[in-house]
Amino acid sequence: MDFFDLVNKRRSVRKFSNETIPEEVVIKALKASLLAANSSNLQPWEFYWVKNKNNKNDLIKACFSQNAAKTAQELIVAVSRIDTWKRNRNLILENYKKKGNLIPVVEKYYNKLIPLSYVHDRIGLLGIMKKILSFFISIVGFFRPVPRGPIFRHDVFEIVTKTTALACQNFMMALVAQGYDSCPMEGFDQKRVKNILKLNSKSHIVMVIGVGKADPNGIYGERFRIDNDLVIKII
């Protein structure tokens, strides 16, 4: 299928049919999700395929028992994390070394700049120190471009969540390419979902994705988009 056909075909399905979805279809889509563009290649995502019946029932309830969750053949939870950066950074550097192309600027970036961005303490003292440092950096910013963040813990969460959302789009498009449908859900009780998945405070639920084959009445109306001129700006 042509890429633009895929884009047009993808819709948020609110009700799925009883048709099962082969495991290999979901696995292929999950692998495609991991090829998404991401910040510093730190891949701060996790995808939980909730197959256990009790966990799945609890997850449906945590999604307020909405049809997109209740009728989905499969449920995938996309999670962003701020505590896997060190492990993933080390794996990246090991890969560079194995290939013999670890140059000083890359090593400096991953060993100095990345920790400066991602290291935070529980009570936020490091964030305050970074904020003070950013004040002096902003003075330099009057004369040339300078890095202005991330500063606080929530800034890092914003980065990893944007990255994970890109992976979710890959996942959903990969499903369409294989003839199946999905619905990304933001309507859920985050605390309950985190309890089901046994996640810590350094993780964030980005979305729950219902997967399956669309019911004939599963798409609620024609797609509507506001006028292009309102959102596409050429300056």
Interval 164-188: pLDDT, tens:
999 999 999 999 999 999 999 999 9
- What fold does the segment set 3-82+160-218 form as a domain? NADH Oxidase (3.40.109)
Helix (H) or strand (E) holding 209: strand 203-212
Cis peptide before 44 (omega within 30 of 0): no
Cis peptide before 150 (omega within 30 of 0): yes
Q: By percentage, how much of the chain surpasses pLDDT 70?
A: 100
Sign, CA dihedral 91-96-97-103, equals negative
Distance CA 149, CA 162 (A): 15
- Chain region(s) in the chain for CATH 3.40.109.10: 3-82+160-218
Mean pLDDT confidence for 147-155:
85
Report yes or no: 210 and 187 within 8 Å, Cβ to Cβ.
no
Position 141 confidence tier, pLDDT thresholds 50, 70, 90: confident
Question: What is the Cα 19 distance to its own chain's centre?
Answer: 27
Distance CA 149, CA 183 (A): 33
Position 51 confidence tier, pLDDT thresholds 50, 70, 90: very high
Express each pLDDT in 62-112 by its tens digit: 999 999 999 999 999 999 999 999 999 999 999 999 999 999 999 999 999
Q: What is the mean pLDDT of the chain?
A: 94
pLDDT given at position 217: 94
Mean pLDDT confidence for 41-60:
98
Position 129 confidence tier, pLDDT thresholds 50, 70, 90: confident
Express each pLDDT in 189-226 by its tens digit: 999 999 999 999 999 999 999 999 999 999 999 999 99
Q: Does residue 82 come out as left (phi exceeding 0), alpha (psi in the -120 to 50 range) or beta?
A: alpha
